[in-house]
Structure 1
Amino acid sequence: MSVTLFLKLYARLAAVAVAVIVVCVLLFSLMNPIRKQIWLETTAEPLMQWLATVPDAASQYHWMSPLFDLEVGNPGSFELSAVNAERLMYGQVVAEKVDAGYRFYVLAHDGQVNRLALEDPYSELARATALIARWHLETANGKQRVAMGLQLGESLGVNIAPVQDASQLPDQSVLDGLSRHGLVSFNGADGNLRVLFQLSTGDLWALDMASRFNPWSWTVIALFVLFLGGVLALALFLGLRFMDGQMRKVESVAVRMARGEMGARVEAGEGTVVSRLAASFNSMAEQIQRLVEVQREMIHAVSHELRTPVARIRFGVQMIESANSPETLHKQLQGIDGDIQELDELIDEILTYARLEQGGPAFTLRQSSVPEIVQQVVDEQAMIHDSIDIRCQIDESSQHYAMADIEPRYIHRAIQNLVGNAARHARGKVLVTCQLDENNCRVDVEDDGAGIPEDHWEKVFSAFARLDDSRTRTSGGYGLGLSIVRRILYWHGGQAFVGRSDELGGARFSLVWPRVQ
């Protein structure tokens, strides 16, 4: 995976994570005040509805006014928003946040509005409920108190029961507060508020409040889990959709190539998921297109190259039929043998070129001495072309780096092709130079011939290419030698190129490849 692709994916994931966190914080901050408002009104509703049913609650529960600021008045005497006022008219309990806690409103049966002002709604609602329960239990006799406690608990939305087991008692510090004030509140084992109060008869009663407000209730967690699951599903869908779109590009190009559009290519930008696949696919497509073009050119060129020797063989056979002397017969047989030899050489060149073009031969790279191969080729060609002065020049410093990773047979073939071409086109001199260093090998072959025009420097490496100057069919060859040279260098990771010889004035062919593969 490329660094660019990794950074892009990381940045997108980080952006999604930050967006999810921001949205969750916003949801939490916007949703919990509403949930708390609903919880407050639901928790206070039993007590407020109880006060709404009591005639003149402020007088009957006279101790509630100084303790909880119980106030009874007309609906217009309280400053309520239009929404809260309308809710109040529908009989709902309204909780309104103020600077000093909350105010609770309820519409009484007589048309008046009861209001309670509580700084700490949960604890003060528990205390107010316990005081009302104690007030009513004091008025009942012992046998009626249990039944009244159940009835009061059902009406006030709490659990009221006498304490009959010592294990239900709190710590001594809490009991000390009970002895001083007659009523004390503390957290029960379940974490909810519990109020313990004592009647005048000495009986202890306990009041258990409803659950506290939990900002992380299972509904909130479930909502966040659903939201995160939805975000992950959306991200996965978009990611798969993007991947599918990228893969469809490759698929469509493959279909177009199957239909014969060999020039079709995948267009994928840098740093995308399929950029490496697209690059490999395009490289493969270029190789296939090149091989198809090479095959087409080879078929055309081979059919053209085979016509001449085949025509000469046919002519020779016809001449044999009409030969009237042994000398004529022998001459024609020699000509046919030469044409067959030419065909054999042509087929060898074609097969070698085909192997190098279509995926390369089975190279077995091994450490071999490049200067020795160069000297061997020069000695061989000097014997063949005895009229040409073929000299070899190897730097003494290159002997230290003589060993290189090569396929000796093919490097020998490449240098031999260049030296043989140079000898055929030279007027009298050919110079072969070998230079090696720590990283590269270089072999230059120069001649004193007419040279090659600069605009044909690239063309000479094409298969079956011939120029309209001194390097023509009359010089021999089939136009495959230099193509074979270039492919051999390609499979060695190097290059073959042509230029002008500064020393001899003719052409200079150069081979350059890495010394260590």
Structure 2
Amino acid sequence: MPLKFFLKLYLRLLGLTVVVLLLCYGLFSGINSVRLQSWQEQYPEPLLRWLAALPNPQDSYHWLGQLHDFRVVPPQNLTLSSVTRERLGYGQVVALETSLGWRVLVQGHHGMVLELQLRDSYREVAESMAYIALAHLNQSLPEQRPEVMARLSETLAITLAPLDDDAMLPADDVLARVSERGLAFYRPHDDSDAATILLRLQDGTLVTLSLPAPFDPWHWGVWMLMLVLVSAVLAAALCLLMRDVDRNLRAVESVAVRIARGELGARVDQNGSSQVSRLANAFNGMAEHIQRLVGVQREMIHAVSHELRTPVARIRFGVQMLDGCNNPEMLQKQLDGIDGDIQELDELIDEILTYARLEQGGPVFTLVETSVTDIVRQVVDEQQLIRPETVIESDIPEASERWALSDVEPRHIHRAIQNLVGNAARYADGKVRVVCQLDESNCRIDVEDNGPGIPEEDWEKVFTAFARLDDSRTRTSGGYGLGLSIVRRILYWHGGQAFVSRSDDLGGAKFSLVWPRKKPVDSLL
């Protein structure tokens, strides 16, 4: 995976994670601030309604002022907003957050406002209700207590019940606090559970006061809302990401359809960076390769039909001449001509098949560490035997012998050098020289001759399949116009190149092969 693409994707995911965390934090804080405000008003509401129903609650429960700064004040003596005053006028319980905790207000008799200052709302409200329940239960007869408990439970939104089962007794420290204060606030399991207050009446009866659950910021509803938010954000991000990918894939698909209709020049637009840029590069490379192969196929069909026509016509003519030929010498001459034409067809087919294999993807090269200088000497010796009339010599400096070993496919490199030497000998004026220049990085082989050379404007044309530069390059001098094309394809699959120039020493053509000495096998497959 390219580093740029990885970093881009990583930064996007990191940014998305930060956005999700910020949204979750904002949603969690915003929702819980509203939930806490509502809970701070709903939880103490039964207590405040109970107090507001009394004509003089501060006299009835004088200890409230000492414990929770309970006051009954005229509304004009309070600094309240218009919204708060309006809510109090409607009889609602209002909770105001302060630096010391929460102020809980409600309007009572004669328009007076009952104010309760709470630091720990859950515990202080619970203990206030426990003291009220303790006072009323102590004032009632034993047979009246069930009715009093039921009335208090309904009015204060709590559950009062006598503790009759010894197995339900709390820990010893709770019982000790009950003995000291008459009540004890405790949680049976952990701080997140609903609390219980154990009351001890004057006659020693134990009563449990069960409270509603405390405020839970991690309520399942909050979890579900955040889960929905995260899912929505991830879905939106995925949609945006996939939209970009889908657009690029559709572009590739559109080009593929155009190519299938015959528009071989269609290419995927690669402007800008995208998640499928590598696919676009590979696709365009494939399209160029297909276009080139189709072009080569058309050229080959046209050229092959032309090249085959002449030997086939000569064979047909020779066969016709055999009919009625009574002269043994003439008969043998026609048979020898037919045999030569068949040999020519065989060589042409071999050249065509070799070129087609190399052009259509090339063979799977098996690289072997081989001495390039040995291959050059072998080719020179073979060609010298075939063409004794031409002087074919090799020029291998001593420094090149040090780097003679190279990763090559010996058979194909031999074929490439042989084609160049044979071609040079065919047009040379008696002399061909093969020069090896090898170093640590590259191999270079130059094949020079003292023939007429090649015009500079035709240097690239000579590597085109079935190309002939002039009338002198006919079948009388040998060749079919495929040899140099095969050479270039062999060098291509070795990661090198073949080119032509003019020989400074001999004055004729100079063909050069250049390829890297060591090349990874994977890059050639």
TM-score of the aligned structures, taking structure 1 as reference length: 0.89
Contact kept, 8 Å, 1:450 with 1:470, in 2: the verdict is no
In structure 1, what is the equivalent of residue 98 of structure 2? Answer: 98
Stretch moving more, 299-308 or 500-509: 299-308
In structure 2, what is the equivalent of residue 38 of structure 1? Answer: 38
Q: Distance in 2 between matches of 1:242 and 1:337?
A: 66
Q: Distance in 2 between matches of 1:379 and 1:67?
A: 118
In structure 2, what is the equivalent of residue 354 of structure 1? Answer: 356
Deviation readout 1:365-418 (Å, 9 max, x if unpaired): 445443333222222322333332211122334444444443333322211211
Q: Distance in 1 between matches of 2:226 and 2:68?
A: 38
**Compared with structure 1, are the counterparts of its residues 259 and 201 closer, same or farther at alpha carbon in structure 2 (3 Å cutoff)?**
same
Query: What does residue range 335-350 of structure 1 map to in structure 2 within 5 Å?
Result: 335-350=337-352
Letter of the structure 1 residue corresponding to residue 115 of structure 2: R
In structure 2, what is the equivalent of residue 246 of structure 1? Answer: 248
Query: What does residue range 262-411 of structure 1 map to in structure 2 within 5 Å?
Result: 262-268=264-270, 272-313=274-315, 335-361=337-363, 363-411=365-413
The alpha-carbon deviation at position 422 of structure 1 amounts to 1.0
Q: Counterpart of 2:55 in 1: which secondary structure?
A: coil
In structure 2, what is the equivalent of residue 511 of structure 1? Answer: 513
In structure 1, what is the equivalent of residue 207 of structure 2? Answer: 205
Letter of the structure 1 residue corresponding to residue 419 of structure 2: N
Letter of the structure 1 residue corresponding to residue 291 of structure 2: Q
Stretch moving more, 56-65 or 388-397: 56-65
Letter of the structure 2 residue corresponding to residue 23 of structure 1: L
2:428 alignment partner, one of 408, 426, 429: 426
Q: Distance in 1 between matches of 2:270 and 2:148?
A: 81
TM-score of the aligned structures, taking structure 2 as reference length: 0.87
The alpha-carbon deviation at position 282 of structure 1 amounts to 2.4
**Compared with structure 1, are the counterparts of its residues 173 and 351 closer, same or farther at alpha carbon in structure 2 (3 Å cutoff)?**
closer
Aligned residues: 517
Query: What does residue range 13-52 of structure 1 map to in structure 2 within 5 Å?
Result: 13-52=13-52
Q: Distance in 2 between matches of 1:369 and 1:126?
A: 98
The alpha-carbon deviation at position 311 of structure 1 amounts to 4.7
In structure 2, what is the equivalent of residue 487 of structure 1? Answer: 489
The alpha-carbon deviation at position 445 of structure 1 amounts to 0.4
Contact kept, 8 Å, 1:183 with 1:196, in 2: the verdict is yes
Deviation readout 1:418-456 (Å, 9 max, x if unpaired): 111111222232111124445543321011223223332
**Compared with structure 1, are the counterparts of its residues 368 and 193 closer, same or farther at alpha carbon in structure 2 (3 Å cutoff)?**
closer
Contact kept, 8 Å, 2:28 with 2:226, in 1: the verdict is no
Q: Counterpart of 2:500 in 1: which secondary structure?
A: strand
**Compared with structure 1, are the counterparts of its residues 359 and 115 closer, same or farther at alpha carbon in structure 2 (3 Å cutoff)?**
same
The alpha-carbon deviation at position 94 of structure 1 amounts to 1.2
Contact kept, 8 Å, 2:24 with 2:230, in 1: the verdict is no
Q: Counterpart of 2:495 in 1: which secondary structure?
A: coil
Deviation readout 1:93-142 (Å, 9 max, x if unpaired): 11111233212122336544322222332222112212222222232112
Contact kept, 8 Å, 1:269 with 1:275, in 2: the verdict is no
The alpha-carbon deviation at position 474 of structure 1 amounts to 6.4
CA RMSD, 1 decimal: 3.1
The alpha-carbon deviation at position 495 of structure 1 amounts to 1.9
Q: Distance in 1 between matches of 2:162 and 2:332?
A: 139
Q: Distance in 2 between matches of 1:363 and 1:123?
A: 85
The alpha-carbon deviation at position 472 of structure 1 amounts to 6.5
In structure 2, what is the equivalent of residue 81 of structure 1? Answer: 81
**Compared with structure 1, are the counterparts of its residues 202 and 316 closer, same or farther at alpha carbon in structure 2 (3 Å cutoff)?**
closer
Deviation readout 1:277-320 (Å, 9 max, x if unpaired): 33332222222111100011111222233344445555666777
Q: Distance in 2 between matches of 1:171 and 1:321?
A: 129
Q: Distance in 2 between matches of 1:3 and 1:363?
A: 31
> Any unmatched runs of 5+ in structure 2?
none
Contact kept, 8 Å, 1:268 with 1:274, in 2: the verdict is no
Q: Counterpart of 1:392 in 2: which secondary structure?
A: strand
**Compared with structure 1, are the counterparts of its residues 368 and 115 closer, same or farther at alpha carbon in structure 2 (3 Å cutoff)?**
closer
Query: What does residue range 136-147 of structure 1 map to in structure 2 within 5 Å?
Result: 136-147=136-147
**Compared with structure 1, are the counterparts of its residues 303 and 79 closer, same or farther at alpha carbon in structure 2 (3 Å cutoff)?**
same
In structure 1, what is the equivalent of residue 457 of structure 2? Answer: 455
Q: Distance in 2 between matches of 1:208 and 1:364?
A: 86
> Any unmatched runs of 5+ in structure 1?
none
Q: Counterpart of 1:213 in 2: which secondary structure?
A: coil
Contact kept, 8 Å, 2:199 with 2:206, in 1: the verdict is yes
Q: Distance in 1 between matches of 2:423 and 2:276?
A: 46
Letter of the structure 1 residue corresponding to residue 390 of structure 2: I
In structure 2, what is the equivalent of residue 53 of structure 1? Answer: 53
